[in-house]
Structure 1
Amino acid sequence: MNDRHASGKRHDDRDEIARLLPAPADWDLPRERHLRHKDLLMRHIDRHQAETATGTPTTTPAAPPVRRPRLLLRPALFAPAAALALAGALTAGAVLGGNGGARGDAARHAAGDMRPAAALLHRISDAAADHGAPTVRDDQFVYTREKVRGADVTSGRAVVGPLQDRETWMAQRPGPLHRLGLMRTDGETLPINAELGDTKGTPAGLSRPTYRWLASLPTDPDKLLAYLYAKTPATAGRERDQAVFEQIGGLLGGVMPPRTAAALYQAAARIPGVDRSPRARDAIGRQGLGIVRDDKRYGVRTEWVFDTEDYSFLGSRSYLTRNTSYGKAGTLLSSTAELAHAVVDKAGVRPAGEAGTDRSGTA
């Protein structure tokens, strides 16, 4: 018993020492993960690799329909790069198939192989479960204020844009809705419309996670993970574990039922390949604890950043992990920093305490 206690204390000491060490120089820039038209960058990378191998130009195949998860929570400038996080063809009726049990076993074994990440995610889960549950009505809006930065890759190179202020007001009605809310970026206010292809409106779900919908998700981590593997859209050649990891990342932050948040973190701990980074930074340079997963095919790391004291979600980032035609290893693709969350009665109106002049809108 004493040996176990001493071992645990030594582990905690190592964690604390690692947390206090300065970040490596090549991580000084804030970096993140939420990207959009993934297929564009994937096809360019594949084409570049093929041309390099054969010495002959290749043609780019027609792009499949791109799903835009939480599209309007990320600026249009980031669209070409943002696909690295959650893009893909929207596949109706995607299911786990007959290997669901085997996948679950593999995930649990993998979780055992990455104990530091699993241990940290369980601590984050416990902290999330201790938060009070807010009251959110269907006629209200969830307000988010954040700093965002991302890269435009339409030129064939990753061109990092400036840090921007963004506020969003997301409608909580179950839907389907044609007008989902409002987004204000650096003072410019625009409506948030239904997802592309949703001619009858976008219902509550993975691409529009309302509070009521989040509360309806399974709170058993294994059942929740099975649900996410079944519902996350599939893309040919896309690593399934990475897609589900990024799908969870797209749900983090904001106003969420505590039990759902706790279950999401425990589900993430079961995904093979998830690792821990003790020195991570969000879009405004706040240093925290990182939970990461690498997309090894495309050379991209997706990272979630958490506060070192209370384990609250600070933001996320994505960046290249190897040299590509789009940039050198370490090149930022996208980054965010979560600053404020609240529930308000009207779109366009800031909650009490938020700086600036309130401007109303309709949704």
Structure 2
Amino acid sequence: MNDHPTGAPPERHGDREEIARLLPAPADWDLPREQHLRHKDRLMHQIDHDRTDRDQVARPASTRPRSIRPRSPRTRSARQLLRPAILAPATALALACAVTAGIALTGGDPAPAGTASHGTATDMRPAAALLDRISDATETRADLTVRDDQFVYTREKTRGADLTSGKAVLGPLVDREVWAAQDPAPLRKLGLIREDGQTFPINAEFGDTEGTPAGINRPTYHWLSSLPTDPDKLLTYLYAKTPQADGRERDQAVFEQIGSLLGEVMPPRTAAALYRAAAKIPGVTPAPEARDAIGRRGLGIARDDTRYGIRTEWVFDKNAYTYLGCRSYLVKDTPYGKTGTLLSSAAELEHAVVDEAGRRPTEAQETRAERQG
């Protein structure tokens, strides 16, 4: 996430340590991976901007550049991350829930492949049959051509719970667009996010001072196409590479890792292999009542995190077997809410490949038509 060279003066790296010191102890609970990574990216992006603003104020007027980088956009509820140079006390708890969980799930050494428990899964045969049908349908779809200089565009609707008060308070449904860079090289700017009309860059992963390369935390189309298509080999790879977290159930972590990839544009053979690999994880079950963020009911695949009492569901179209979205909710009473409390949900609406970040597929088509005319 750090956009500055490694040779920057030491005092410019102190802000993150100071903010980390101000946060309360981590909560004994983890957000779904995609949600806490989104919080973490916004936090670190805001820190970079606030630090720049303070530097501008501290300089003599004669040495300040005339153009100052604009401040990052504000977001609502728990995602109102920072006021200028100050952490709002109520926000600190939300950051602890989001950022420390994100560090836990993305830090540490990967567990060795021998720790995988996917050798036998006898408790989810109905789910295996359903995932096999989804895999068969997926393999028949046409492949795409994606260049390294292009961007994968995703449009979706999402919502998440605000944990600032210590209770899960569900936020509004949000329109979200993402342009993900496909360049496999380490990048400091990974693309753009536009949410409720506000656009801001996606920064490199926290700690990647030289940029984040394509990989499990930045799955480009070509990286996804390089994954094993044999389900057993793929699952062994995922158990080895999925980031380890203390106390985190390994099977659940890998299930959610696969879920984080399902909304990506990928070769059909890779998607089919992921579904067949998921069928081998113990505890995976059908979810007849599954629905996405906009209420579309479909074929559901779920797994319960028994430690935290959270169910994660994937939703597929009943006829075409296409991926519609996901949701997570409590399946037992916890300090954050009662059984059934929704924590997060998403609905996938559109996927495309475009030549420019910030340009929608329809805008790109209009531009090409004008050039041809």
Residue matched to 1:114: 124
Residue matched to 2:266: 256
Aligned counterpart for 2:186 among listed residues 176, 182, 186: 176
Residue matched to 1:51: none
- The yes-or-no answer on 1:342 pairing with 2:352 is yes
Residue matched to 1:165: 175
CA shift for structure 1 position 154: 2.3
Residue matched to 1:224: 234
Q: 1:275 to 1:43 in 2, by over 3 A?
A: closer
Amino acid of the residue matched to residue 328 of structure 1?
A: K
Q: Deviations over 1:10-49 (max 9, x none)?
A: xxxxxxxxxxxxxxxxxxxxxxxxxxxxx9442599xxxx
Residue matched to 1:286: 296
Q: Deviations over 1:262-291 (max 9, x none)?
A: 000000000000000122110000011110
CA contact (8 A) 2:354 2:364 kept: no
State how many pairs are aligned: 292
Work out the CA distance in 1 between the residues paired with 2:39 and 2:272. Answer: 21
- The yes-or-no answer on 1:131 pairing with 2:148 is no
Q: Where do 5+ consecutive residues of structure 1 fail to align? A: 1-38, 46-65, 358-363
- The yes-or-no answer on 1:307 pairing with 2:293 is no
Residue matched to 2:164: 154
1:317-332 equivalence runs, <5 A:
317-332=327-342
1:71-86 equivalence runs, <5 A:
77=79, 80=97
SS of 1:278 mapped into structure 2: coil
SS of 1:175 mapped into structure 2: coil
State, as a whole percentage, how many aligned pairs show the same letter: 64
| C-alpha RMSD of the superposition | 3.0
Amino acid of the residue matched to residue 88 of structure 1?
A: L
- The yes-or-no answer on 1:206 pairing with 2:216 is yes
Work out the CA distance in 2 between the residues paired with 1:73 and 1:162. Answer: 18
- Following superposition, which runs of at least 4 residues in structure 1 exceed 3 angstroms of deviation? 66-87, 353-357
TM (norm. structure 1) is: 0.74
Larger of the two Rg values belongs to structure = 2
Aligned counterpart for 1:42 among listed residues 28, 52, 56: 28
Q: 1:137 to 1:251 in 2, by over 3 A?
A: same
- The yes-or-no answer on 1:193 pairing with 2:210 is no
Q: Deviations over 1:270-321 (max 9, x none)?
A: 0000000122110000011110000011000000001011110000010011
Residue matched to 2:20: none
TM (norm. structure 2) is: 0.72
1:28-39 equivalence runs, <5 A:
none
Q: Where do 5+ consecutive residues of structure 2 fail to align? A: 1-24, 44-74, 80-93, 368-373
Residue matched to 1:272: 282
